[in-house]
């Protein structure tokens, strides 16, 4: 297994290299990063020439990529014209963890991302936990009560939920649980932000503000995950070894949770393994609607303002996460099914 992991990591190096080239070319053609420097005023022509020379933007595209990748020896730059340089004298390059300086925040990209990443991990981690646990319960119940009234009801709700766009679910939940509940005199839920500024960032406030975003995201994914679990469980429950376990008189919980669920979880591991890397990117639409200060909102804000260093940092972080989580998924495969070997 160790040799397999090392081999996959070595294979990931040229893959990430190709991904970085494609992303860099696309970002360079997305717009002019010096047009406003992330602000609202057009950059003066003399400032544009100076910054383009210092940032290496007057060089050919391949040289700009090398500057981004391995760094260069530029002078300290004053991005906002206040006489105080915002950049260090030497940029180390992405290979040594230096993604540059944000054109909007005037801070290192790593710091900008790190300020938002814990908020996204909190929201998306709780959401994924709710999705997995809830989907397991719903999917297993539907499989064990196949063609019952509740099975048909869950199937109908799943198809309805899967067909709804996330912005509709988010706005509908705000209208019901915030607007109408307040109108009816019932305890209502907050709709924006991470906490009430008048109360402070307490665990209770953060948990209360997470209810609607978590519900909106979970409602969509419940439909897909529960159907995967239901179909996988039905397939496993019809196998010969399950009938043999029943004939031996094994307890029903042992048959379901040890023999059936473990073997039915392989398709679910695939789906979860594909979704987990994108937890780092956050939920762009949901975070925007609920004003959650996470990675999704950060990405959208900086794309709209042409902040290339931050956008490239986020995209490369996602690319690395996809590679890592795919390797972890393969390891979980081998743990769940001893027949799978990678040597």
Q: What is the CATH number of domain 110-336?
A: 1.10.3720.10
Q: Is the pLDDT of residue 163 over 90?
A: no
Strand partners, 72: 91
Q: Are 87 and 65 in contact (CB under 8 A)?
A: no
- 178 Cβ neighbours under 8 A, 6+ residues apart: 188, 189, 190, 191, 212
d(CA 210, CA 202): 12
What pLDDT sits at residue 273?
A: 79
pLDDT of residue 190: 92
Contact 51, 79 (CB under 8 A): yes
Q: Note the pLDDT tens digit of each residue in 261-286.
A: 877 877 778 778 777 777 666 678 88
Segment 128-144 shows an average pLDDT of: 89
Of the candidates 298, 286, 311, 104, the one whose C-alpha atom is nearest the C-alpha of residue 213 is 286
The overall longest dimension of the chain from CA atoms, in Å, is 85
Per DSSP, the three-state class of 40 is: coil
How do residues 16-75 score in pLDDT, each as one tens digit? 999 999 998 888 777 666 665 655 566 666 667 777 776 777 778 888 888 888 876 554
> φ, ψ for residue 189 (rounded to 5)?
-100, 145
Mean pLDDT of the chain: 82
Question: How would you write 131-166 as a 3-class SS string?
Answer: HHHHHHHHHHHHHHCCCCHHHHHHHHHHHHHHHCCH
Per-residue exposure over 152-179, b if at least 16 CB sit within 10 Å of its own CB, e if not: eebbeebeebeeeebeebbeebbeebbe
Domain ranges, ordered by start, for the chain: 21-98, 110-336
Listed in sequence order, the residues at least 6 apart from 316 whose beta carbon sits closer than 8 Å to its beta carbon are 16, 19, 20, 23, 94, 99
167 or 39: which leads in pLDDT: 167
DSSP line for 272-326: HHHHGGGGTT--HHHHHHTT--SHHHHHHHHHHTT-HHHHHHHHHHHHHHHHHHH
Structure-block tokens of residue 96: 């040594």
Q: Distance between terminal CA atoms of the chain? A: 7
Residue 303 has pLDDT above 70, yes or no: yes
**Predicted pLDDT at 210:** 93
């Amino acid at each position: 297994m160790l040799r397999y992991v090392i081999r996959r990591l070595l294979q990931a190096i040229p893959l990430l290299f190709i991904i970085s080239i494609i992303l860099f070319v696309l970002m360079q053609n997305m717009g002019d990063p010096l047009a406003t420097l992330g602000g609202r005023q057009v950059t003066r022509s003399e400032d544009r020439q100076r910054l383009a020379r210092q940032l290496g933007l007057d060089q050919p595209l391949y040289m700009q990529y090398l500057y981004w990748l391995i760094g260069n020896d530029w002078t300290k730059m004053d991005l906002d014209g206040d006489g105080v340089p915002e950049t260090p004298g030497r940029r180390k390059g992405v290979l040594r963890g230096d993604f540059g300086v944000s054109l909007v925040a005037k801070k290192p990209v790593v710091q900008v991302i790190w300020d938002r990443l814990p908020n996204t991990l909190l929201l998306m981690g709780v959401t994924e936990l709710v999705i997995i646990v809830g989907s397991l319960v719903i999917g297993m119940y539907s499989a064990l009560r196949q063609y019952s009234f509740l099975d048909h009801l869950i199937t109908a709700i799943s198809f309805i939920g899967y067909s709804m766009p996330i912005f509709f679910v988010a706005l509908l939940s705000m209208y019901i649980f915030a607007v109408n509940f307040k109108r009816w005199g019932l305890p209502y839920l907050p709709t924006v932000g991470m906490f009430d500024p008048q109360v402070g960032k307490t665990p209770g406030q953060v948990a209360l503000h997470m209810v609607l975003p978590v519900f909106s995201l979970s409602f969509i994914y419940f439909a897909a995950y529960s159907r995967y679990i239901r179909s996988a469980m039905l397939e496993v429950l019809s196998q010969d070894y399950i009938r043999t376990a029943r004939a031996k008189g094994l307890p029903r919980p042992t048959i379901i949770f040890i023999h059936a669920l473990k073997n039915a979880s392989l398709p679910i591991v695939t789906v979860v393994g594909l979704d987990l890397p994108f937890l780092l990117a956050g939920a762009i639409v949901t975070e925007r609607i609920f004003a959650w200060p996470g990675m999704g909102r950060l990405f959208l804000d900086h794309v709209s303002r042409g902040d290339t260093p931050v956008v490239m940092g986020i995209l490369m972080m996602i690319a690395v996460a996809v590679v890592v989580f795919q390797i972890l998924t393969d390891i979980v495969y081998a743990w769940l099914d001893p027949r799978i070997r990678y040597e």
